[in-house]
Amino acid sequence: MFNLILFGPPGSGKGTQSEKLIARYGFKHLSTGDLLRNEFRNGTALGLEAKSLMDQGKLVPDAVVIGMIRTALEQNPDVNGFLFDGFPRTNAQAEALDSLLAEKNTTIRVVLALQVSKSELIKRLLNRGLTSDRTDDVNESVIGSRIEEYERKTAAVADHYKKLDKVVYIPGEGTVEEIFGALSKEIDRRQM
Ligand code: B4P
């Protein structure tokens, strides 16, 4: 099994690149952001609670997202690899993921970390807010809170995997194709 984490701040291109990577490599895509938005669209209590936190730029509680990932792993016993997008976002989530994968006798092969400047992140997210239904993208102060949450709680997740020598940094500014090429190169050299 080839499992990878696509890591980076909000707006760094995780969702954009995930779509291309699953099309090329056939990974099972697990995006906690998409799972939470689906819960909201289905009108569940969990979705309503998550939406109110997401609209403030805050992270959803660890127990909620870890539970969603546990269910998704159980529902997909026969895939040849998972692409985790937007998860883990805290050290507690990273530790839970490591244990869940260990139960399946597998592990994270690589963490591909997209690096994008703060001004570019803000520009991209405000731009997406003009055309999408993402209510967390319309207001610059909410975008600022998301970036602060990332700096305060999520950036440390890279240190967790650096200790295991699993992190590769990828420049996340440039065309979508250029960045896809750099990500693919890292995957290809590990799959040979
Ligand atoms: P997510 O859904 O994960 O979204 P995101 O991090 O904000 O954006 P992403 O990185 O995927 O966007 P992309 O760059 O592709 O999270 C939303 C919220 O859900 C969080 O704030 C949190 O509240 C909650 N949540 C999710 N997971 C959680 C967890 N594990 N724990 C707790 N809470 C959790 O796209 C951005 C824009 O950039 C797009 O418009 C795209 O077209 C553009 N773009 C992409 N690449 C580009 C490029 N190379 N050049 C120019 N523009 C580009």
- Residue positions annotated with a catalytic role: 14, 89, 128, 134, 146
Question: Which residue's entry shows tokens 């969990």?
Answer: 46
For residue 59, give the nearest of 94, 89, 14 by alpha carbon. Answer: 89
Kindly give the distance from the C-alpha atom of residue 14 to the centroid of ligand 1, in angstroms, as a whole number: 6
Per the domain annotation, does 124 fall within a domain? yes
Question: For residue range 102-118, what is the model confidence (pLDDT) as tens digits?
Answer: 999 999 999 999 999 99
Question: Which residue's entry shows tokens 């990273």?
Answer: 94
Rounded CA separation 147/139 (Å): 13
Per the domain annotation, does 25 fall within a domain? yes
In SS3 terms, 10-47 reads as CCCCHHHHHHHHHHHHCCEEEEHHHHHHHHHHCCCHHH
Count of domains in the chain?
A: 1
- In this structure, of 64-68, 130-134, 165-169, 178-182, the range with the lowest mean pLDDT score is 130-134
Strand extents, DSSP E, 61-188? 82-85, 108-115, 167-171
Mutating to test ligand 1, I would choose from 6, 17, 59 the residue with most ligand atoms within 8 A of its C-beta, which is 59
pTM of structure: 0.95
Kindly give the distance from the C-alpha atom of residue 148 to the centroid of ligand 1, in angstroms, as a whole number: 14
Per the domain annotation, does 39 fall within a domain? yes
Where in the sequence is the domain holding 70, given as residue range(s)? Answer: 3-186
Question: For residue range 14-38, what is the model confidence (pLDDT) as tens digits?
Answer: 999 999 999 999 999 999 999 999 9
Kindly give the distance from the C-alpha atom of residue 139 to the centroid of ligand 1, in angstroms, as a whole number: 15
Which protein residues are within 6 Å of ligand 1, measured from CB?
Answer: 10-16, 32-33, 36, 53-54, 58-60, 65, 86-87, 89, 93, 124-125, 127-128, 136, 146, 176, 179
Per the domain annotation, does 191 fall within a domain? no
Question: For residue range 68-98, what is the model confidence (pLDDT) as tens digits?
Answer: 999 999 999 999 999 999 999 999 999 999 9
Per the domain annotation, does 117 fall within a domain? yes
For residue 94, give the nearest of 167, 165, 160, 2 by alpha carbon. Answer: 160
Per the domain annotation, does 104 fall within a domain? yes
Q: Which CATH number do you get for residue 78?
A: 3.40.50.300
